[in-house]
Every structure is written in C-alpha cells, then in structure tokens.
Structure 1
Amino acid sequence: MSVATIAPRIAIKNVTPEVSSAMSALHEAALAAAQAADIAPGLLQLIKIRASQINGCSLSLDRYTQEARAMGEGEQRIREVRAWRNSKLFTCGERAALSLTEAITLVFAGQVPNEVYAEAARQFEETQLAALIWAATVINAHNRIAVTTRLEGSGAPPNAVAR
C-alpha cells in the first residue's frame, strides 16, 4: 500500500505575514482568555482534537493528540473523543464543551442549537463560555488554513501556517 503525497499549495505565513501575525495574536488572546477563565488546559486539548477530527486536519490532530499525551491525558480518552457521546469517560462539562465545539465546527449544518448553547451555559460561567467559543473558533480557523493549503502530515513546511 502506498501513501499519497500531498504537496503544500502555499506558504501562507510567508505570503501574508501580517495576517499570520494577527492570527497568532488571536490564538494567544484566546489562550489567555481561557487561562483567565480557569478553563483546564486538558479541556482545551479535547476541543482542539475534536474540531481537528471533524475538519479532517491530520496535521493539527497529530499535534494536539501529542500535546494531550504530554499533559497526561490518557490514551483511551484521546481515542474516545470521536465518540464522546457514547463514552462514560467525559464529565458533564467536557460533554457540553465538546457538543458546543461540534456545533461551532459544523455551523454550516444549521445554527448552534439552543439546547447545545444552553447546556454549555449551565456548565460554564460566562467568561468560561466566551473562552470556549473563542477556542473552538480559533482552532477551526487554523484547521481550515491547514486543510486549504494542504499542510497535512509531517512533510509540511513548518513556516507555512501560523500556529
């Protein structure tokens, strides 16, 4: 079995450094908001993993699963993020955050359902909810850049997308 080679399309960070810098600043601001709101770093990793799974971004998925492992996240929970609804390994708060992440990621399929938003609002304080929305939005933007520019896999140039 041969592995398909997917050539990167554009080194976007090099072509539009000012936009890449702004994206990096947005990423840092979203992380700072999550930290200030006391969002557990592990929950942010779960959000990044789930959005990356949905978006088919292997580059991000590899990165965020490795980071989750380094933070002490268990292999079984990492594997079960894809099927979190059928797993007993996630807390009510994690479930609400993953559901909200899916709704944000799949917003084209309808709006973020009221019940999804309401459950997230029950589980998290307003500053936490805002931080989760930003985290999901930012990872989706990163995924879309990586997928569009075909930065899928370890052969991608490290400077092709701002992270």
Structure 2
Amino acid sequence: MSEERRVHLSRSAPDAYKTLDAFSKTVGRIADEAGIEPRFKELVQIHASQLNGCAFCVRVHVDRAVKEGLDADVIAQLATWRDSGVFTERERAGLELAEAFTFIHDGGVPDEVYDHVGGILSEDEYVALSWILVSINAFNRVAIAGRYPVPPRASGKA
C-alpha cells in the first residue's frame, strides 16, 4: 500500500498550531484550578479521541494516563464505562459529557446530560471539563485530517 501524502497542519501553519497548543495549556491550568485531577483529564480525552477515531491522540493520552497511574484495565474499561464499576461518579459524569461534546452536532448538549452532569460537578468543574473537551476535539480534527501516523510500539513498552 502506498503512503498517502497529506498536508501536515502543524508543520504547514506552525503559528496556528502553537496557538492551539497554548490554548490547550491555558485549558489545563483552568482544569487544575477547578480541581480536575490528571486521571480525570486523561480519561475524558482518551474517550473523546476514541469516539472521534483519532488513534494518534488516543496514544498520546494513554501514555499520559499511564504516567498518572492508570492501568490497562481501567483504560480498557472506557469502551464500556456505563457498565463498568471502575469509574467514580464524577468520572462517569465527565465521560457522559465527553460524548455530548464529541457528538455536539446531534443537537448540542442535551438538557438531561447538562442537568445530570451539573448535579455532580461544580460549575467550575463543568466549565473546565467543557474547555478540555473543546481542546481535545480540535486536536483530534487536526490529527485525523492529517492522518498522523501511530507507529507500533517498541517491544517491551506498554
């Protein structure tokens, strides 16, 4: 199979990519100030990336999640989070919000989701998590559009 040539957006417009990266760092600070734990941040970003089909961002955030102490079992449970007992009530609310933001084109964030998540997360947490989801969805689109490659892992690395 021949390698398809795609425009690499981050290289072709580095100032735009640097701005997106700076935005992401600002969002991270907002999340830290709101008390969103690193585990929680990574879980919602992995889930949104899975839903978008962004293998590149899934790899990036799985690597970060492992550094934050998440194990393979918890990460594997993301696909079945509604039926899994490994997530906290807050994490489950965040995963529900991740789905609403990822599929926002299907009528926005439904009132039921907004009310349910808002009953679990504080307003600051809801705002921070929303910005995290805006950010990861933007990065997913950049990576998917450019078909950023995800090479196989070197042997011995998780």
Pair 7,70 (structure 1): closer, same or farther in 2 beyond 3 Å: farther
Which of 113-122 and 47-56 deviates more?
A: 113-122
TM-score by length of 2: 0.90
Aligned length: 152
Q: Which of 34, 37, 51 is the matching residue for 2:34? A: 37
**Alignment gaps of 5+ in structure 1:** 156-163
Shift of 1:109: 2.0
- Which runs of 4 or more aligned residues in structure 1 lie more than 6 Å from their structure 2 counterparts after TM superposition? none
The Cα RMSD (Å) is 1.6
Identity over aligned pairs, percent:
32
Q: Which of 1, 4, 12 is the matching residue for 1:15? A: 12
- Secondary structure of 2:66's aligned partner: helix
Work out whether 1:112 is the aligned partner of 2:80. no
Counterpart-to-counterpart distance in 1, 2:48 and 2:23: 17
Residue identity matched to 2:40: L
Shift of 1:51: 0.5
Q: Which of 144, 147, 150 is the matching residue for 1:150? A: 147
Counterpart-to-counterpart distance in 2, 1:24 and 1:78: 25
Counterpart-to-counterpart distance in 2, 1:6 and 1:130: 41
- 1:59–1:154: 8 Å Cα contact kept in structure 2? no
**Alignment gaps of 5+ in structure 2:** 153-158
Equivalent residues in 2 for 1:124-143, closer than 5 Å:
124-143=121-140
Residue identity matched to 2:85: K
Counterpart-to-counterpart distance in 2, 1:94 and 1:41: 11
- 1:57–1:152: 8 Å Cα contact kept in structure 2? no
